């Protein structure tokens, strides 16, 4: 199968080695103990060569590092993690690397001036000589925030969203909401 599900608790693909019919055809790899998830993720890629790897509840630095390594091999990733918003995940040091490995960088005088002009600040030069910046591409092409049972937010351009959040700006997204008649309404924000 070209789809492999790495599941810690049977929440994604059902319990046991036989996946739930909604993800067929797929190979399910059950994580025997939570600390072994990163190893099982890498094993899934080495032994089954998936095009897509679905990962349940990424939450440790080792799992994020494994996911970053897997993404460099051309495998698409779908993962869940705990965090109410994209900004909250970005601010979590255990999870931030999957969103582009943000690091504080020192700015040259020219970069500081350009940043000041872009931000439309006053004529006085901003004293900050550093800023947070992505050092690589995020491992996900899209991020979905589940806000409620009938409401989601989708960030279609993850790199752009992360760059804006790192600059303290709002990130562009599409807000989807299902009304009482089960009609889905979409609104682009920014």
Look at residue 124 in the predicted model and tell me its pLDDT: 45
Look at residue 49 in the predicted model and tell me its pLDDT: 95
The overall average pLDDT reported for the chain is 88
Look at residue 40 in the predicted model and tell me its pLDDT: 97
Look at residue 140 in the predicted model and tell me its pLDDT: 95
Look at residue 12 in the predicted model and tell me its pLDDT: 78
How far apart, in whole angstroms, are the C-alpha atoms of residue 144 and residue 53?
A: 17
**What are 123's two structure tokens?**
């004529």
Residue 84 has pLDDT above 80, yes or no: yes
Mode of pairing for the β-strands spanning 76-81 and 52-58: parallel
Which residues, listed in sequence order, are joined to residue 78 by a DSSP beta bridge? 54
Backbone phi, psi, residue 44, to 5°: -60, -40
**What are 4's two structure tokens?**
């492999």
106 compared with 70, residue with greater pLDDT = 70
Element (H, E) at 103: strand 102-106
């Amino acid at each position: 199968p070209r789809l492999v599900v790495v599941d810690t608790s049977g929440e994604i693909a059902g319990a046991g080695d036989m996946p739930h019919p909604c993800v067929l055809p797929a190979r399910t790899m059950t994580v025997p103990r939570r600390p072994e998830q990163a190893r099982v993720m890498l094993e899934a890629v080495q032994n089954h060569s998936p095009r897509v790897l679905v990962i349940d509840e990424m939450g440790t630095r080792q799992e994020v590092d494994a996911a970053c390594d897997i993404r460099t091999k051309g495998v698409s990733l779908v993962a869940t993690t705990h965090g109410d918003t994209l900004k909250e995940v970005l601010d979590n040091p255990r999870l931030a690397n999957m969103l582009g490995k943000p690091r504080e960088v020192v700015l040259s005088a020219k970069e500081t001036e350009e940043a000041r002009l872009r931000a439309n600040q006053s004529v006085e030069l901003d004293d900050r000589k550093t800023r947070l910046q992505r050092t690589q591409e995020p491992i996900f092409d899209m991020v979905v925030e589940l806000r409620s049972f009938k409401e989601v937010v989708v960030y279609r351009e993850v790199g752009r969203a992360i760059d804006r959040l790192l600059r303290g700006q709002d990130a562009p997204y599409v807000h989807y909401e299902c009304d009482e008649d089960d009609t889905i309404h979409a609104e682009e924000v920014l």
